[in-house]
A and B are shown apart, each in its own frame.
Chain A
């Protein structure tokens, strides 16, 4: 009996000490982790418009971000809203579809997807749209950039996913992402301003086809997923994208 009591005491002591230690360490590094996540997103936004950030220090990335990117909020009609800033928007993932819902609290009421975040870039001029959706194993999160004609693609970046290395994970490799660069001449609208989006085509050989890029061999689900959620997410920005200013 005495022995058993000793055992329980020991287990409790070990659990207590280790949880206490972890709690202290967690709360002390949490701010650093949060900064890293924000910085990583900024880096991805810069990468989506073709700015290489690999060798830059954290301060240089912040500096570049400030120089190139303007954070904006638009409503579903495509008008820029000046009263709401990007930090007012809460990003919440729909776990089954991978769609990001944007929640804004206006006068005590939570509005869902009434206001959308978008980034305007200078040099190269364009707009960056956050995209997210399901691949095979996971939700892919990234940014998709169009030029200031709101149709020619500038680039695509994925900053979070858990796809198979060597297969689905090829979406974050240069060969795949380079296809969205401006010099490849890919477009999301046809000349009548109908949304075509970009199809990730597994047949490959998409050179010169404006609404398609080469898909990934052996990663059908990821390729189709990107096709699907890219169009779905662009659809939400349709009123903004369709109008040229």
Chain B
């Protein structure tokens, strides 16, 4: 596979959320605010890239029959690590992300990439694949978060965008956007838009 393709493919064409439909759970949970989405993206990038690299490094030694357990051990260790680092250095953000950092362990993207890609490819490609998939995930996360924060709380990245004169004339923030269904709707619109453009149809 071409190096470029390994990185760019998961960004749009083979995006983990919109095309592989993985990691939906966290995409609903941490997209209320753009800041949360960005921190989550960094956390996932760290976990996914590192787990891909480590698993790819040992792929020849990992016994096939217990590979899932080994992968999970590595991923879980990395997640606990990033959780501790956040608590130590970015306490307020870690408070807002609360359990969702811990739930990276169950994020299907990480396990999915570990088992389908890192187990069969060299370290360099696995690293790039990890980055690509994280950014693909982050891209969607941030787009969804921009929509939800703008229409749900009238702000982007904490800065108020919608002028107060609009509120005075009767505009109300859409509370639905703050709830999980709001994320589903935005996500659905993105998938629809993407599939209209690429012409991809699910079998």
Contacts and interface: CB of A to CB of B under 8 A. Distances in A.
Interface of A: 3, 6-7, 10-11, 14-15, 18, 21-22, 25-26, 29, 32-33, 36-37, 39-40, 160, 162, 165-167
A220 B10 CA distance: 43
A160 B98 CA distance: 10
A166 B178 contact: yes
B63 A6 contact: yes
A165 B32 contact: yes
Contacts of B70: 10-11, 14
A165 B182 CA distance: 12
A118 to B, nearest CB: 25
B63 to A, nearest CB: 4
A7 B74 contact: no
7 contacts: A7-B63, A10-B70, A11-B70, A18-B74, A21-B77, A33-B87, A33-B91
Contacts, number: 60
A3 B81 CA distance: 32
Given A7-B63, A25-B81, A166 B87 contact: no
Give the 7 A-B residue pairs with the shortest CB-CB distance, closest first.
A166-B178, A36-B91, A18-B77, A32-B88, A29-B88, A7-B63, A33-B87
B81 A22 contact: yes
Interface string B12-54: 0000000000000000000010000000000000000000000
Given A29-B85, A40-B91, A22 B63 contact: no
A32 B88 CA distance: 5
B171 to A, nearest CB: 16
A32 B84 CA distance: 10
A11 B77 contact: no
Contacts of B80: 22
Q: Which residue, of A3, A10, A26, A166, has the highest number of chain B Cβ atoms within 10 A? A: A166
A129 to B, nearest CB: 22
A167 to B, nearest CB: 8
B67 to A, nearest CB: 10
Contacts of A6: 63
B6 interface: no
B143 interface: no
A11 B63 CA distance: 9
Nearest to B178: A166
B77 A36 contact: no
Contacts of B178: 165-166
**Best-buried of A3, A18, A37, A167 by chain B (most CB within 10 Å):** A18
B62 A10 contact: yes
Contacts of A33: 84, 87-88, 91
B66 A11 contact: yes
B69 interface: yes
B179 interface: yes
Interface in B142-196: 152, 175, 178-179
Given A25-B81, A33-B87, 13 more contacts: A7-B63, A7-B66, A14-B73, A22-B77, A22-B80, A22-B81, A29-B85, A29-B87, A29-B88, A33-B84, A36-B88, A162-B98, A167-B179
Contacts of A11: 63, 66, 69-70
Contact of A26 (B74, B84, B89): B84
A18 B87 CA distance: 20
Contacts of A26: 84
Contacts of B88: 29, 32-33, 36
A162 B98 CA distance: 8
Nearest to B64: A7
Contacts of A15: 73
Nearest to B90: A36
Contacts of A32: 88-89
Nearest to A15: B73
